[in-house]
Structure 1
Amino acid sequence: MDVPLWFALIVVGYLGIKLIRPPWWLVAVLLLGGYLLADSVLAPVIDATVK
């Protein structure tokens, strides 16, 4: 069964918010921080570390 990555991320995110119940400001900060880091000078370093 092939599941698209965007769908899996939405399901995991929804379940994480429902089960763990983090504050909404924390979710917003993590999403914005990830978006900004992906377009920064540190992106190649993070990519190499993750792989």
Structure 2
Amino acid sequence: FASFAAGLDVLLGAPHRNQSMGQSGRAYVLANCQWSDVAQRAASALLRDD
């Protein structure tokens, strides 16, 4: 719990870093988490025969 709290303190003290991390996270999600892609990966995992 202490390391989690310390991480939050770092984030709360760095608004520019938060903005950058948020933009990077959004770009990643838009590039990798479209519903069609998620559905395809889920279907592949469910239909796998191993």
Q: TM-score, normalised by structure 2?
A: 0.39
Higher-Rg member (1/2): 2
Task: Kindly indicate which of the two structures has a greater share of residues assigned to helix.
Answer: 2
Q: TM-score, normalised by structure 1?
A: 0.38
